[in-house]
Structure 1
Amino acid sequence: DEMGGAESDFDLEDDVDNAPVDDVPFRRWRYSRYVAQQYRRLYSQRYLNPHRKRRERGPARLPYVLSYVKENEPADFRSALRVSPATFDRLVNELEDDPVFLNNSQNEQIPVSHQVAVLLFRFGHSGNAASLKRVAEWSGYGKGTILLMTRRVLTALLRPEFLKRAIPSPTEEEREAAKKWVEEHSCYAWRNGWLFVDGTLIPLYFRPYWFGEAYFDRKCNYSLNIQIISLANLRIVDIGYGFTGSTHDATAWLQTNLAKEHDTFLRPGEFVWADSAYPIKTWVVAPYKK
């Protein structure tokens, strides 16, 4: 009589949980429940593999670089992070209030100076020196944390508000100084060509997984194409980024602010110097175009 004297499902569960495995009653219609409970018991009491002995991590060098080296050894600091101590401090001050470094948790984020230093160290080295293992040993942070910090800093760097502050339009004094330099190094007729544009390839450590062939450039490397517009003193006034290494300079150039809004950058009669890869316009001059 199932309604009268049979065990309930809950009674069976208690028996299975408390009884030795060999004593658990086997019933065909409850086979799946029995197997699931045994699996839960197995995983709660056993490891599939033995624990590995955790290797002791050596002392991190990052705190030492940001304290003693930055204050007393500027050349060594620049060798490690590829920027001067003054540039590093200014960069941190510009980025530290970005929302990406704020959270609603009671646990504070890693100091912004550490996050910026990790990104600069990664981007300032290549090969094995830029591997996650090497950066982790240098900084003292885990590999996953390093990836997270890199994404945070890049997010802050690529915000339009920061780019506008970091790459301002040239002033009247800079414009006139650039024209004067061109005139002194060429002739008066060319003085209105006070801007220069060229593309540069930033090599990547490995082939990207998605659309990797698009990153293969003419120099047989996987890279990114960056367009740079600068003054004669090398002060950058506009950039174009986000292009794969196979993108032609003439195509990437069209996406820069200067190419799209040249009327706001250039006055009548002014032009940009470029090489033969760029299309000729009334405001783009390539002196050696075939």
Structure 2
Amino acid sequence: MHENRYEQPRNTLPRGPAYLPHVLTTLKRGRADHFRQALRVSPPTFDALVTELQNDPIFFNDSNHPQLPVDQQLAVALYRFGHDGNAASIQSVANWAGLGKGTVHLITRRVMTAVLRPGFMQSAVRMPTPEEKDEAKHWVRNHSCRRWRHGWCFVDGTLIPLDQRPTWYGESYFDRKCNYSLNFQVCIIH
């Protein structure tokens, strides 16, 4: 038992063909709408994210444990983040990507580590410059209600459902729609 860690013989789960390569090749080049539906970002945004994240040290380790390319890891994480309910389960994401459940968990952790690094956050999340604010005000004045002429941004909030109740302070995550979720606000200039 100490040697094998299992009392019963293990039955491996046969894997079907992965949809991930199809999304990153065919859909990315020929059907941006389907690519966006799967990963919730456009192909140019996806490529920009890969370019920004690909040199993060989290994606490099010793040659004994090679990792998937950064674009595949980012695609798995985005697919997981873009779905909820049964579609967001680790098994469902693993089936979609043709990977093991443990690999999906590791990939998600790596991508979030890279995204939350101060260097990436400073380059990706920033307040607009005074010139950008003026340009946005000009756009609002010409394309919207005159009373909003001093406005320069739009704020939108959305709930990101969690697949289970968080262990710490779980009741704080219970929302008005009777789900556990995070509230995410985005501020957008035109």
1:157 paired with 2:118, answer: no
CA contact (8 A) 2:89 2:163 kept: no
Q: How does 1:215-230 map to 2 (within 5 A)?
A: 215-230=173-188
Q: After superposition, what is the alpha-carbon deviation per residue over 1:75-121, rounded to whole angstroms, capped at 9, x for unaligned?
A: 22222112222221111111011111122444322111111010111
Q: Distance in 2 between matches of 1:79 and 1:145?
A: 23
Q: What corresponds to 1:131 in structure 2?
A: 89
Question: Rg: which structure is higher?
Answer: 1
* In 2, Cα distance between equivalents of 1:46 and 1:183: 70
Worse-matched range after superposition: 60-69 or 151-160? 60-69
Q: Which amino acid aligns with 1:228?
A: V
1:91 corresponds in structure 2 to 49
Give, in angstroms, the shift of residue 44 of structure 1.
Answer: 8.1
Counterpart in 2 of 1:110?
68
| TM-score, length basis structure 1 | 0.57
Identical-pair percentage: 55
> Any stretches of 5+ residues in structure 1 without a counterpart?
1-42, 234-290
1:146 aligns with 2:146: no
Q: Which range is displaced more, 53-62 or 208-217?
A: 53-62
Cα distance, 1:219–1:119 mapped onto 2, change above 3 Å: same
1:224 Cα deviation (Å)?
A: 1.2
1:211 aligns with 2:166: no
Q: Distance in 1 between matches of 2:3 and 2:116?
A: 49
* 1:121 aligned onto 2:94: no
Trace 1:189-208 onto structure 2 (pairs within 5 A). Answer: 191-197=149-155, 199-208=157-166
RMSD, matched Cα: 2.7
Q: Deviations over 1:239-258 (max 9, x none)?
A: xxxxxxxxxxxxxxxxxxxx
TM-score between both structures, scaled by the size of structure 2: 0.84
Runs of 4+ off more than 6 Å: 44-48
Residue correspondences, number:
189
Q: How many angstroms does 1:218 deviate by?
A: 3.3
Q: Against the structure 1 CA distance between its residues 228 and 70, is the aligned structure 2 distance closer, same or farther, given a 3 Å change threshold?
A: closer
Q: Shift of residue 50 of structure 1?
A: 4.1
